Amino acid sequence: MACKFLTAVLSSTLGSLTASCSICSSSSVSSEALKWFDAGLDSDVSSCRLKKASAFFCAGDMNATYLILEDIRKRYDLNVVEPVCRCTLLPSHPAREGFKTAAYRHNEGAFKHIAAFCVKFLRCESGCVPKELQYEMYRSTIAERPLRNADNQWLDLAIIDSLTYLLFLRFKTCGRLGKHTEQKQALEDLLRAIDMEPNLGHRETALNLVGQIMEKEGKFATALKFFIASFNERAEHNAAKVLICKVLAKMINSDR
């Protein structure tokens, strides 16, 4: 079972690497990349599917992105699916009852129906990563880097919880497609998930994404509040430090 899971994760990563190259050269997701993506879809409910959706989003194919996100949204039962992240040692809350029931019934095979792993992108996959999330690949300051240990390798990746990335991509995609009612709902759901979902492993990243949404809308003061909330969530190794400086510069320039 472990080998099948690792094979799926590796296939998804190879798909993203291949897609990143094809997007950078031709703004499209190659057929080879799609084969790798499809080979890795059943690792869990959402993470590998979200990498595929992210590739189509960065290639500019909003219709394909929307269809994939809709499929994930239908699979992601909030009463059953549990976010799973082992990047950090944050205290976890008890799993929801629906998750326990499904896990008991299906044992190891339940993973692809009830677990949502965080979505991970290597720096060499940046062609498949929206600009807002690319900041997360550079979390550590020069002063922080010497203090890292072997358990901190994830800090050089762009990592986000499946649920919040699903809602962020849905917000962006619906906006591009002119589905403004669904876009508004996606943002409301994203804010609710940040506040209410107890087992998010990367809440600070989600707050950074919301801050950048507000920044793009010209709501600099609101954006700053989200970046500060992110910093308060994680004071070290947080892209919020850069994002705070960036939005403060915009606020100063707008005052002029």
CB 213 within 8 A of CB 231: no
- Give 93's DSSP letter: P
Residue 239: inside a domain: no
| pTM of the predicted model as reported, rounded to 2 decimal places | 0.94
Residue 48: inside a domain: yes
Residue 223: inside a domain: no
C-alpha distances out from residue 14 to 7, 19, 65, 112, 125, Å: 10, 8, 19, 20, 9
pLDDT one-digit tens code per residue, 50-83 = 999 999 999 999 999 999 999 999 999 999 999 9
Residue 64: inside a domain: yes
> CA 241, CA 55: separation in Å to the nearest integer?
27
Say which residue, 243 or 41, is predicted with more confidence.
243
Q: Where are the alpha helices (DSSP H) in the chain?
A: 2-26, 31-39, 47-59, 62-75, 97-106, 111-114, 131-134, 162-177, 180-196, 203-216, 220-233, 240-255
Closest-CA residue to 205 (of 124, 125, 127, 90): 90
pLDDT one-digit tens code per residue, 91-149 = 677 778 888 787 777 666 667 888 899 999 999 999 999 999 999 999 998 899 888 88
Residue 98 confidence (pLDDT): 83
Percent of the chain with pLDDT over 90: 73
Closest-CA residue to 52 (of 165, 164, 139): 165
Number of domains in the chain: 1
Residue 215: inside a domain: no
Which residues have CB under 8 Å from 240's CB, separation 6+? 204, 207, 208, 211, 227, 228, 230, 231, 234
Residue 224: inside a domain: no
Task: Please give the residue range of the domain that contains residue 152.
Answer: 2-205
> CA 26, CA 239: separation in Å to the nearest integer?
30
Residue 112 confidence (pLDDT): 80
In angstroms, the first-to-last Cα distance of the chain is 60
Residue 3 confidence (pLDDT): 67
> CA 180, CA 112: separation in Å to the nearest integer?
31
Residue 220: inside a domain: no
b vs e for 84-108, b when ≥16 Cβ sit within 10 Å of the residue's Cβ?
bbebeeeeeeebbeebeebbeeeee
Closest-CA residue to 189 (of 214, 211, 168): 168
**Structure tokens of 255?**
């005052």
> CA 236, CA 218: separation in Å to the nearest integer?
27
pLDDT one-digit tens code per residue, 183-226 = 999 999 999 999 999 999 999 999 999 999 999 999 999 999 99
Residue 147 confidence (pLDDT): 81
Q: Beta-carbon neighbour count of residue 128 at 10 Å?
A: 31
Residue 2 confidence (pLDDT): 60
Segment 154-162 shows an average pLDDT of 93
Q: Is the pLDDT of residue 88 over 80?
A: no
Closest-CA residue to 140 (of 235, 45, 210): 235
pLDDT one-digit tens code per residue, 26-46 = 999 999 999 999 998 888 899
Residue 210: inside a domain: no
Q: Is the pLDDT of residue 1 over 60?
A: no
- Average pLDDT of the residues of the chain: 91
Residue 256: pLDDT band by 50, 70, 90 thresholds?
low
